[in-house]
Structure 1
Amino acid sequence: MTKSKDETPRDARPKMAVPQATKAPDLEKITLGEDQGSGQIWETFMGNLIARNVQTAILYPFRPPQDKDNGKSVIVLPGGGYKFLSMEHEGFKAARALCDLGFTAYVLAYRTVPTAVSSDAFFEDMVAGFKLLGSTPPPENPLAVTDLDHAIAAVRGLNRSAPIGVLGFSAGARTAIRWLEQCSSDAAIEQVALIYPAMAKMQNVAISPDIFVAIAQDDPVFKAHRFALIDGLLNAGISVDFHLFDKGGHGFGMSSTGTTASAWFEAYQNWLSTRP
């Protein structure tokens, strides 16, 4: 376990403002399951591209240059409290960084819960929700867990022998945890990274991949359960690489926050380099 200390944190993240409508990105995509329609909304929110009211799960593949391809894949799950998906900040940026390391990355836009079509009404809902972060039980979304299962099967179908990992942020990390609790014992996932996940103890451990966890001490989500998740994993005999940063709050993602939490991806990269 590493614990990093910040003396003068300078958070450069944008502040909250009403989302602004924008277009969906023009990217290659793989639709998972039956297309349920085009009701999803794309917006910029806090300087970040988000998607909400996602009714059909989609994988966005990012492939490295052939001369850098290491033959491994990582499925990236953005967060957003199941009300939206932080597609750029916790999705596409992470996928591009993984491509630079030689991984084929797949950003999973999993199904979200319905939200108001109005950006103003959605914003009011998010402001109220952020105030409760860490003080109420995190939401559940079984559809997202199903979508992750389908995504893993789809990626496995593209290359049956390639190692597959998962990188989940916040609600995306919770989705990965729920999948680990429920998946079949023959599910083949080599490694899972959980970035500022809910820190409650897992209810069950169906399989035991190597696990990487990064979170900030001043994150309300950490304060709610502290080390329960880590203790449970260690007691189950699972290999855990745990990084606790002094400051960084919740949702630092791939942004430069002016805190040592910004170094999480470098630590993750080092950890990946030691995995089979």
Structure 2
Amino acid sequence: MLNRRGALATFVTGLLASGLARGAKAETLPMTDPTEIIELWPAGPPGAAKVTAVEAVIERGDPDGLRDRALTHTRKPTLVVFRPKTPNGAAVVLMPGGGYERVVQDKEGYETARWLADRGYTAFVLFYRLPGDGWAAGPDTPLQDAQRGLRLVRSRAAAMGFSSDRIAIMGFSAGGHIAASLTTRFAAKVYERIDAADDLSARPNLSALIYPVITMDPAAMHGGSRKQLLGPNPTSEQVVLYSPEKQVSADLPPVFLLHAADDKSVPVENSLLMFSALKAKAIPTEMHVFEEGGHGFGLRFVAGKPVSAWPGLFETFARRHGL
């Protein structure tokens, strides 16, 4: 097991330094993990009385020799900070996937954060709590961390060199469900105020949902995420509340959607449902569905595949909408 707070990352993808958007083959470069970490809850996260799970980082391995770590049983949710050399005045909060069983650290977290920081964004990787670990808030536990994290980022905007109204979120897979939930339920009261940061809005200024889990409807759901979030027998009311496509209102920010048609883990219908719901409410939205890509590719695409264009497409969308 590895310590996520200061461990040396022996390998990290060279895509970030050598033509990532062109789909170049990954290389290995030594790079130290960031050490700037913001704890979300200074007195400890709410609802911990029945939580006994032990937090750990596991190395999952990667066929190309890259780091592929994941955090399990998060006990102290944090934001890990990646500062750009030349800030562009905007920030992005990343919410990696993991099926609500773990939080992917490298592929959808640190690698994407470095890519964003290289382009001027102040990037934050959110390590959120998992709903199956016994937290009192149950399925609202990850949303508690997402709301609190967004508010903390907004509270530190001036000090960290970006605008408080230029904050995007980007979620992958189950992290995409958290990002979609924050996008649609940013005003839901899911925890009690603890300090001045909680007086700020949790509404992101832009949302990017990357091969996201969206619906809890059995017709298109990701079964593992639904079971971890809602248990084996959710009520019909829970299915509606925790399906972001059912929670779309007219005051949402612009949304970027990305999926591969051949995704065998999270059906592409998840993004299609969200896109249709957003269009019905006239929310600015853009969706890219690629023929090939599978699931969980992050920035590690296969050379020559059209899906490798997605980071540039996101960047163009973000700039067009003020980021």
TM-score, structure 1 normalization? 0.77
Give distance in 2, aligned partners of 1:239 and 1:223: 20
Residues 174/225 of structure 1: CA separation in 2 closer, same or farther (3 Å cut): closer
Match of 1:52 in 2: 72
Structure with higher RCO (Cα < 8 A, 6+ apart): 1
Residues 110/225 of structure 1: CA separation in 2 closer, same or farther (3 Å cut): closer
By how many angstroms is 1:174 displaced? Answer: 0.2
Give distance in 1, aligned partners of 2:55 and 2:246: 32
Residues 62/270 of structure 1: CA separation in 2 closer, same or farther (3 Å cut): same
Give the 3-state SS of the residue equivalent to 2:36 in structure 1: coil
| Cα RMSD (Å) | 2.3
Match of 2:287 in 1: 242
Could you tell me which runs of 5 or more consecutive residues in structure 1 were left unpaired when the two chains were aligned. Answer: 1-20, 116-139
Match of 1:180 in 2: 183
Equivalent positions of 1:79-228 (< 5 A) are 79-113=97-131, 141-159=139-157, 161-162=163-164, 163-184=166-187, 187-200=202-215, 202-206=245-249, 207-220=251-264, 221-225=266-270, 227-228=272-273
Contact 2:131 2:142 survives alignment (8 Å): no
Match of 2:58 in 1: 43
Pairing 1:263–2:309 present? yes
Q: Could you tell me the percent identity over the aligned residues? A: 28
Greater CA deviation, 47-56 or 201-210? 201-210
AA matched with 2:59: T
Give distance in 1, aligned partners of 2:202 and 2:175: 19
Residues 207-236 of structure 1, C-alpha deviations (whole Å, 9 max, x = no match)? 311111110001132345562211111111
Residues 225/114 of structure 1: CA separation in 2 closer, same or farther (3 Å cut): closer
Give distance in 2, aligned partners of 1:205 and 1:28: 35
Give the 3-state SS of the residue equivalent to 2:286 in structure 1: strand
Residues 192/226 of structure 1: CA separation in 2 closer, same or farther (3 Å cut): closer
AA matched with 2:101: K
Residues 273/226 of structure 1: CA separation in 2 closer, same or farther (3 Å cut): closer
Give distance in 2, aligned partners of 1:85 and 1:226: 21
Pairing 1:231–2:273 present? no
TM-score, structure 2 normalization? 0.66
Pairing 1:31–2:39 present? yes
Residues 160-204 of structure 1, C-alpha deviations (whole Å, 9 max, x = no match)? 643111010011110011122222296442110000012536112
By how many angstroms is 1:57 displaced? Answer: 1.0
AA matched with 1:166: I
Residues 261/181 of structure 1: CA separation in 2 closer, same or farther (3 Å cut): same
Residues 226/241 of structure 1: CA separation in 2 closer, same or farther (3 Å cut): closer
Residues 224/267 of structure 1: CA separation in 2 closer, same or farther (3 Å cut): closer
Greater CA deviation, 140-149 or 68-77? 140-149
Contact 2:84 2:117 survives alignment (8 Å): yes
Alignment length, in residue pairs?
230
